[in-house]
Structure 1
Amino acid sequence: MTEENNEQELAEFATKLFDLARHGDLTLIEYIKQGVSVDLVNHDGQSFVMLAAYNGHPELVQALVEQGADVNLLNDRKQSPLAGAIFKKEDAVIDALLEAGANPKAGTPNAIDTATMFGREDLLGRFE
């Protein structure tokens, strides 16, 4: 097998993993238990937690946290999973991230600014 084929297979495998996160598929946890980094990021700096949070999968977010995922890992645009969940109005994900210690001051715009921008004043008290 050539190095080019190996790189292509690796890229396809990584794409599969990020798709699992995007779709909330808990199979991802089995790959992490086999050695895939829980904080692996794609070409846009999107972590598994970010993709699961942004796409509304609180169960996967919680499972990733249990595997040691960094809930404050920013993407290449300096966005946090918590701000993404607020933007997408994913209340169960917001709960999971806050329970896991997500920092509402992380990122740009941060979760506090995002909540204010999108009229989610109900969340502001939870960020103190």
Structure 2
Amino acid sequence: MVEEKPLLEVPGKVVEAIKAQYKEMPVDYNEKPCRFIGKKIALRAVKDKLEDWAVTTADACSWAAASAPVWVLVKDDTNQYKLVLYAPIYDMTVGSGSQNGFHHIATARATAGWSEQLLWKFDGKVYKLAKKLTQ
């Protein structure tokens, strides 16, 4: 996900939701705020509309060796965005299984000698870690 092309500029409403709901905004090495990019995704199990967002930072801003910051936001019934998952990851897949009306999310990150795969399930408010596999 994080190096998928093309990732889009994120709408202002999505950026504002991240800033309001996530307290530690990423910065580059010069302490300048990172720019957000992402892609629309469909998280609702019954409504396959691309109206939710997976967001990361542009130009590898604030990335680690094996991961990038990723925020997942859903668009609610009032057309506002709500942060439902933050994870430092490298890959993200929206699964076919669902819980509480939202698809599961699988994430991964790895280095040459270590890997981690996580399964996230929606608890009715946010995504919670359901399963972790580390090698």
For the superposition of Structure 1 and Structure 2, which TM-score range results when normalised by the shorter chain?
under 0.3
The structure with the largest alpha-carbon Rg is 1
Q: Identify the structure with the greater strand proportion.
A: 2
